Amino acid sequence: MEKTLPLGYEDLQLGDRWVSQERVVLEEDIQQFAALTGDQDPLHVDPVFAANGPFGRPIAHGLLGISFLAGLSSQAPSVQTSAFVSIRSWSFTKPVYSGDRVHVVTEVLDLKPHGRRHGEVHWYRQLINQDGQKVQEGILVTLVSRRVPLSLQRSRIGEMNRSDRSHSEIGPHEIGARDRNESESGISETSSPQSVSI
C-alpha cells in the first residue's frame, strides 16, 4: 500500500477537520502512567479510596488523557511537525475511566507564517468518549514545516517573471524581420518540410 506523505504547512486550510481512530483506556494504562510519572494519587490507583470519592471509582490521570489525545491526533492528520509550542487553553470536562473508548476530533483554528521554513498552526482538539461526550478540549500550537521554503518560492517566482519579461520584450521590428527571413527562405508557418521550395 502506498504511504501518504505528511502534510506541509501549505496543505492546511482554516476549518480543516479530522477524526482519529479509537483507543480503549485500560486499567494497566492508568497504573503504568502512575508508575512512570510518580503520580500515585489514590483517585487514580486505589479502588477503595476512589469508591468513596466524587467519581465512585478510579479515574485516568488528566495528563494521560492529553497523552492519548496527542498520540491519536498525530495520525489524524499526519503533518510535518517541527516543534510543539504551547497549550493555549485546556479543559477537563468529564472523567475518563478504564474501559472507555476515546477518539480525537481535530480542527485547524488559525494559521500564521513563522519564518521562511515553518508556519504556526493553532489546533482545536477534543477528546471524545464512546458516548459522544467531550471529556477534554483545548488549543494546541505547533510549528509545521513548509514543503518549499519561502526564499525558494520567491526565487522560483522571480525566475518565472524574468522568463515572462524576456518573451514580452520581443518588439514588432523583430517579429517583422523574422517573418521576412522565413518568406525569403520559402518557409511559412503552415508549410511542411516537404513543401519547402528551393
What are the residues whose beta carbons fall under 8 Å from the beta carbon of 48, sequence distance 6 or more? none
Estimate to the nearest angstrom the gap between the alpha carbon of 7 and the chain centroid.
Answer: 5
Residue 5: what pLDDT? 87
In the chain, which stretches have pLDDT less than 50? 157, 172, 175, 185-198
Q: Are residues 107 and 156 in the same domain?
A: no
Q: Are residues 25 and 50 in the same domain?
A: yes
Residue 180: what pLDDT? 52
Q: Are residues 44 and 62 in the same domain?
A: yes
Are 67 and 34 a contacting pair, CB within 8 Å?
no
Q: Which letter does DSSP use for residue 132 in this model? A: S
Amino acid present at 89? S
Confirm whether 93 is domain-assigned: yes
Confirm whether 198 is domain-assigned: no
Q: Are residues 61 and 97 in the same domain?
A: yes
Q: Are residues 139 and 156 in the same domain?
A: no
Q: Are residues 155 and 86 in the same domain?
A: no
The CATH number assigned to the domain holding 64 equals: 3.10.129.10
Confirm whether 197 is domain-assigned: no
Expressed as residue numbers, the domain containing 164 is 151-185
Residue 164: what pLDDT? 56
Query: In total, how many domains does the chain have?
Result: 2
Q: Which helix (H) or strand (E) holds 151?
A: helix 150-168
Confirm whether 194 is domain-assigned: no
Q: Are residues 139 and 101 in the same domain?
A: yes
**What number of CA atoms fall less than 13 Å from residue 106's CA on the CB side?**
25
Give the whole-angstrom CA distance, residue 3 versus residue 5. Answer: 6
Q: Are residues 117 and 91 in the same domain?
A: yes
Q: Are residues 80 and 175 in the same domain?
A: no
Confirm whether 105 is domain-assigned: yes
Confirm whether 192 is domain-assigned: no
Give the whole-angstrom CA distance, residue 15 versus residue 91. Answer: 21
Residue 9: what pLDDT? 97
Stated pTM of the model = 0.74
